[in-house]
Each structure stands twice: as C-alpha cells, then as structure tokens.
Amino acid sequence: MLREHLKNYKIILASGSPRRQQFFRDLDIDFEVRLKEVEEIYPPNLTEEDITDYLSVLKSDAFEGELQPNDLLITSDTIVWFKGKALGKPKDYDDAFQMLQSLSDATHKVFTSVCFRTSSKIETLYEVTSVTFNAISDEAITYYLENYKPYDKAGAYGIQEWLGCIAVSRIEGSYANVMGMPIDKVWQYLFNFGK
C-alpha cells in the first residue's frame, strides 16, 4: 500500500539499528540503509524530546548536500529519561548494570524523535512513552546483561527481550516507540508524504 504512494521517492534509512530496519521491512516499502558516523553530542541545557529532536537532526545533517530531489532521508534517536537525566546507550557492563538498577521499581519515559529530510526541507516528529518496571533483582540484571548484551540500546534494555517480559509492569503510549521508533506515526507521515 505504502510502496505505491512512495514509488517516486528513494527512501533512505540512516540507522544501523536492526529493530528500526525491521520496522521498515514490516512497512513493506523499498528502502536502502545508508550509514554515517556521527558523534552524538548535544547542548547540556536540552531536556526530553529536545535532546532526541536535536540528535535526529544532527544525524541527518551529515547527509546535507548529498540528497537528490527524489530522496527522503530518515534519521532517528531514542533516549530513556529518568529523574531529570537522559540515559543513552551504556558505555560498558558496569554502566548498564547501574542503569538497570536505577530503573528498577520505578517509572521512566522513553523519547524517540524521527527526522525526515529531503533536498529542500526538514521535518521532525517525536513520541513519548511511559514505562514502569517491577523491582529487578541484581541476579536478574546480571543474567540479562550476560545473555542479551544490550549495549546498543538506550537505557540498557530492549522491551522486546527477556527483561521486558519479566520487568515491565505498566506501559502508557506506544510500545514500538520503546523499541526505537513510533512506527505508526512514521507510517502516517510517509502515507501523507507520498500523496
């Protein structure tokens, strides 16, 4: 359905995330993955969706001047926001362990922003989801980190993995957003874009 709407455009997903790539395959559209290394640094005064908006645009800036008139570049960024602080991807095992200990028996927010860039314009959208964890034992955290190695995930967890099964007691908002992309909003944007 979407493929027909977008037949005149080349969709470029600039993300190495296997989950985001799977979402785009699930949309049943033709797209290519194009990656560039970007240092994900943002001004310290930014909070919540301002951080993910900034970083998703920053990632798209790396392609400025390269896009053809029929190209549509999509970049994205996700953070976990907890107690006034952004939790990105953990640096190492100890960092991941500390993150999960802090999220145990508490509620955090997950923000994802998606940036759409053509050769002539740029637009962003974002989604926020509230996630509540049960108390998680150190033993469970150790098991999860050793077996699932979630070092490429904001907040050191994937909601679709083992930890999501045993730890999430409540979720308000988009489940897909916690996985790294509010794919329903992306679909709506692309559907309208192709008209």
- The predicted model scores a pTM of 0.94
pLDDT band at 1 (very low <50, low <70, confident <90, very high): confident
Q: Which residue has the higher pLDDT, 117 or 3?
A: 117
Q: What is the pLDDT of residue 34?
A: 97
Which H/E stretch holds residue 50?
Answer: helix 48-61
φ, ψ dihedrals at 155, nearest 5°: 75, 5
Nearest to 122 by CA among 114, 134, 130, 131: 114
Q: Give the residue-averaged pLDDT of 36-59.
A: 96
Nearest to 156 by CA among 95, 74, 66, 86: 95
Q: What is the pLDDT of residue 194?
A: 65
Q: What is the pLDDT of residue 35?
A: 96
C-alpha angle 56-57-60 in degrees, rounded to nearest 5:
95
> Considering its fold, how many domains does the chain have in total?
1
Residue 65 is part of a domain; what is its CATH number? 3.90.950.10
Q: Is 75 helix (H, G, I), strand (E, B) or coil?
A: strand
Strand pairing of 10-13 and 32-33? parallel
Residue 179 has pLDDT above 70, yes or no: yes
Task: List, for residues 91-135, the tens digit of each pLDDT value.
Answer: 999 999 999 999 999 999 999 999 999 999 999 999 999 999 999
CA–CA separation, 104 vs 101, rounded Å?
5
Domain of residue 60, residue span:
2-193
Active site residues: 77
pLDDT, averaged across the chain:
96
Residue 89 has pLDDT above 70, yes or no: yes
**Residues sharing a CB contact under 8 Å with residue 74, sequence separation 6 or more, in sequence order:** 11, 12, 13, 14, 15, 114, 115, 116, 117, 186
pLDDT band at 5 (very low <50, low <70, confident <90, very high): confident
